[in-house]
Amino acid sequence: METQKARLQGEEFIISRVFDAPRELVFDAWTQEKHLKEWFGPEGCAIVDAKLDLRPGGFFHYGMTFMNGQTMYGKWIFKEIQRPEKIVLISQFSDAKGGLTRHPGSKDWPRETLSTTTFEETGGKTLLTLKWAPYQASELERKTFLDAASSMEQGWSGTFRQLDAYLAKAKR
């Protein structure tokens, strides 16, 4: 189901989409390692080396291996978890050991971003809204983030297509 909107509001990139799946399942898909490994990331990548500690102060550390063989690591640090309504986290690029690194393709990308994802029940479906913003970023990092809005929309659209396909199989 592709009911999706993306926009910039101040320094926040906001994208929302309606998924034809119950809210509990969509929330689980975002918070359980077995689900995240199946759909998360840009199209054409596979999640490897995933470790999840779902609690405030916990983390999700993962590698993404792309078709060209390159592996890139990321890390979420959970700030708030309200099952099944909301997840707030700090997102960052990392190394294989979980240390903070720079975006491999953009030295001016914010070292950390703040992500708030909400899950709203709507007639047996789920409206997912992701708000993403630079966190403790320099002016140049904030500008780089905002200038990438169309790329972020394209990337999240692909990720959401994968989630859509995964949810269709998972709810059977």
For residue range 130-154, list pLDDT tens digits in order: 999 999 999 999 999 999 999 999 9
54 has pLDDT over 90: yes
87 and 81 Cβ atoms separated by less than 8 Å: yes
Mean pLDDT of the chain: 94
Task: Specify the 3-state DSSP secondary structure of 130.
Answer: strand
Helix 23-31 crosses helix 149-170 at what angle (to 10 degrees)?
Answer: 110
What is the structure's pLDDT at 172? 65
Q: pTM of the prediction?
A: 0.93
Sign of the torsion angle spanned by Cα atoms 4, 5, 6, 9: negative
The strand pairing partners of 132, in sequence order, are 13, 115
33 and 50 Cβ atoms separated by less than 8 Å: yes
CA triple 125-128-131, angle to 5 deg: 170
44 has pLDDT over 90: no
Q: Which residue has the tokens 């393709």?
A: 105
**Which structural domain range is residue 163 located in?**
3-170
Q: Residue 157 maps to which CATH number?
A: 3.30.530.20
The residue with greater pLDDT, 34 or 171, is 34
CA 80 to chain centre: 15
- Residue 128 has a CB neighbour count (10 Å cut-off) of 23
- As for how many domains the chain has, the answer is 1
**What is the C-alpha to C-alpha distance for residues 12 and 126, in angstroms, rounded to an integer?**
22
How many helices (H) and strands (E) the chain has is answered by 4, 9
Task: Specify the 3-state DSSP secondary structure of 147.
Answer: helix
What is the structure's pLDDT at 166? 96
